[in-house]
Structure 1
Amino acid sequence: MRADRLLSILMLLQVHRRLTARDLAERLEVSERTIHRDMEALSSAGVPVVAERGQGGGWSLLGSYQTTLTGLNLAEIQALFLPKPTHLLADLGWSQAFEAALLKLLATLPDANRQQAEAVSQRIHLDPTGWHRWEEEMAAFPILQTAIWQEHQVQLTYKRSDGKVVERLVNPLGLVAKGSVWYLVASVEEEVRSYRISRVQSATITDRPCIRPSEFNLAEYWQRSLVEFNANLPRYGVMLRVAPDVLPRLRYGGHFARIEQIGSPDAEGCILISIRFDVQEEACAYVLGFGAQVEVLEPSQLRDRVLQAAKEVIALYTRY
């Protein structure tokens, strides 16, 4: 609705100070012509919106103009009161602050909206963790969090995934939670990297100011790094013929098995599955776990590997 959009424009200009018509159009998913009409409507209503032309220009609010209207509709209120990942808030030390903020917001709502907001937590629960959660060492977390807020460089002692321990002087740029695992995003000599915080053996805040890359965006960096990580994963493709009652177990059978394509049942009801692993060893162990209900069709090297492993198992249990 237009009223919601006008309030959204006011909030965006208060937060970002100056935005172009294109920026506003992209954020609100409308045309630039619509934004210009909205600006005329705001101006007619007495809101001091001004436009500056040229490079670095855009729309802004005149002087120190502020509005105290939140313009929250029911859906937005319900979204705010959805249960949040409490363990991540606890890691950040924000649990109490978050609860206090929600209580203050709740107190300002009309009775009808307050009842709707309170009902959300009893209707929807979000659990971002998997079935198996391993508690990780987080001793360095408070130090890294402090360094980020203070914008100071940090001297790290870090254990890499290959077991080698290295020393790094880093510019801490942000913290990212992937599921329940925390990462430090930091730059080293203008190269941005990710460090798993559980592998940080020690961290010391220095008196050197943090050097932050210009126009660095934490969310965009993390998204790019995920794409690059997935693109560089090892690929070991396998074609399987599986019994139909095995398919549900295949879907949830292992974190290293990724189903790429599911075919139609053949004359005997079996299904052809294209599935990807990182390495052959993982594929062999995975297939053996399903016994005679899964047959390897390709590659032939894996068929031979599974057959050899099966013979070794038989020999082990028939030697007495």
Structure 2
Amino acid sequence: MRASRLLSLLLLLQNRGRMTAQQLASELEVSVRTIYRDVEALSAAGIPLYGDAGHAGGYQLLGGYRTRLTGLTAAEAEALFLSGLPGPAAELGLGSVLAAATLKLQAALPAPLRGNADRLAERFYLDAPGWYRRPEDVPHLPAVASAVWERQVIQVTYQRWKEPAEVTRRLEPHGLVLKAGTWYVVARCDGAMRTYRVDQIVAATPCDCGFTAEPGFDLASYWHGYLADFHRQLHTGHAVIRLSDNGVRRMRHLLSAAAVTAVETAGVADAGDAGGWVCARVPIESADLALADFLRLGADIEILEPAELREQAARTIQAMAAIYD
């Protein structure tokens, strides 16, 4: 265990340069005291490692030193082959690069690990997009990705759902995120960090200027916060519904995850019905979207509240019945 940690510490310094004891401790999930002991052990083993005290101090390797102790374990090699997504790489213009890197990695692996990698390719395939949707066309993804990589300002024409439908924005792109088959670019615009769907970009022109990244910006942290805010703002209302026993079984495939969770955690048996019906107060995004979801359950659901939604459902069902009368 300690040998693995010492190698990880060495590779961190090799790849990142100067790091403080606190930074190393955070990365390796150990105490600062343990880092001090590990640094002493590496120095005693002849590794040209030195440290500077003070606010700007830290540990680093002497210039030019590189270790060849980079052997992969079986689990690490398998994880690398699972991490490559050919589809997204091709969308970024890196399909051939990923294929070449995979071949080189296979050639460099010992025979037992190479065999494991071949079995992974035979038995696992990662398909990122969700069901019931066609792949989105993202013609400007390579240009956006290049701007992200080069820290280059890019001007885009963006299509949105509200008027004006098309707007021009000058973006300072900080990162790209692939979520459920859809690409998003996180960019600073007019001094604020915002999120844009790349498939909604209808024109993209690189500007002849770079930008400095937002101090302390972390893409993963931003995205988790963005998702949390999105879910908080998504469901702005509630509805009270009754579900039959069959409706409870079918709802997992037809209702939103938030509605399913509400039924499963707070649903109560309908005291006035012996047929196994359950009542629950569920969150909804809007009346129109809720009605579309609820009607998919047919006669296995009854909308009780709000009254406007119940009346809207009644009018829709009567109109449907008239068509088939």
Q: TM over 0.5: same fold? A: yes
Partner of 1:280: 287
Q: Which amino acid aligns with 2:102?
A: L
Partner of 1:110: 110
The 3-state SS of whatever aligns with 2:186 is: strand
**Alpha carbons of structure 1 residues 102 and 316: separation in structure 2 relative to 1, 3 Å:** closer
Partner of 2:182: 181
Give the drift of 1:251: 1.0
Give the drift of 1:120: 1.6
2: distance between equivalents of 1:313 and 1:132? 25
The equivalences for 1:43-82 within 5 A come to 43-82=43-82
The equivalences for 1:90-169 within 5 A come to 90-164=90-164, 165-169=166-170
Give the drift of 1:171: 1.9
**Alpha carbons of structure 1 residues 255 and 135: separation in structure 2 relative to 1, 3 Å:** farther
Selected match of 1:314 from 307, 313, 321: 321
Which has the larger displacement, 241-250 or 101-110? 241-250
Gaps spanning 5+ residues in structure 2: where? none
Normalising by structure 1, we get a TM-score of 0.89
User: Is contact 1:154-1:171 (8 Å) kept?
Assistant: yes
Selected match of 2:310 from 296, 303, 311: 303
**Alpha carbons of structure 1 residues 111 and 127: separation in structure 2 relative to 1, 3 Å:** same
Give the drift of 1:166: 1.4
Give the drift of 1:9: 0.7
Partner of 1:38: 38
1: distance between equivalents of 2:227 and 2:204? 25
2: distance between equivalents of 1:211 and 1:34? 35
The 3-state SS of whatever aligns with 1:252 is: helix
Partner of 1:252: 253
Normalising by structure 2, we get a TM-score of 0.88
User: Is contact 1:259-1:276 (8 Å) kept?
Assistant: no
Matched positions, count: 318
User: Is contact 2:254-2:296 (8 Å) kept?
Assistant: no
2: distance between equivalents of 1:243 and 1:84? 44
Q: Which amino acid aligns with 1:218?
A: L
User: Is contact 1:83-1:124 (8 Å) kept?
Assistant: no
User: Is contact 2:50-2:62 (8 Å) kept?
Assistant: yes
User: Is contact 1:260-1:276 (8 Å) kept?
Assistant: no
Partner of 1:235: 236
The 3-state SS of whatever aligns with 1:228 is: helix
Give the drift of 1:17: 0.8
Which has the larger displacement, 146-155 or 219-228? 146-155
2: distance between equivalents of 1:296 and 1:140? 44
Confirm whether residue 208 of structure 1 aligns to residue 209 of structure 2: yes
User: Is contact 2:86-2:98 (8 Å) kept?
Assistant: no
Greater helix fraction, Structure 1 or Structure 2: 2
Deviations 1:118-169 (A, max 9, x none): 2122233322211123333322223223333343322222222215221222
2: distance between equivalents of 1:297 and 1:211? 54
The 3-state SS of whatever aligns with 2:260 is: strand
1: distance between equivalents of 2:136 and 2:117? 34
User: Is contact 2:243-2:302 (8 Å) kept?
Assistant: yes
User: Is contact 1:172-1:210 (8 Å) kept?
Assistant: no
Give the drift of 1:18: 1.8
Give the drift of 1:192: 1.7
The 3-state SS of whatever aligns with 1:314 is: helix
**Alpha carbons of structure 1 residues 133 and 316: separation in structure 2 relative to 1, 3 Å:** closer
Q: Which amino acid aligns with 2:296?
A: G
Cα RMSD between the aligned structures?
2.4
Q: Identity percentage over the alignment? A: 39
2: distance between equivalents of 1:202 and 1:301? 42
Deviations 1:25-62 (A, max 9, x none): 22222222222222222122111222222212222222
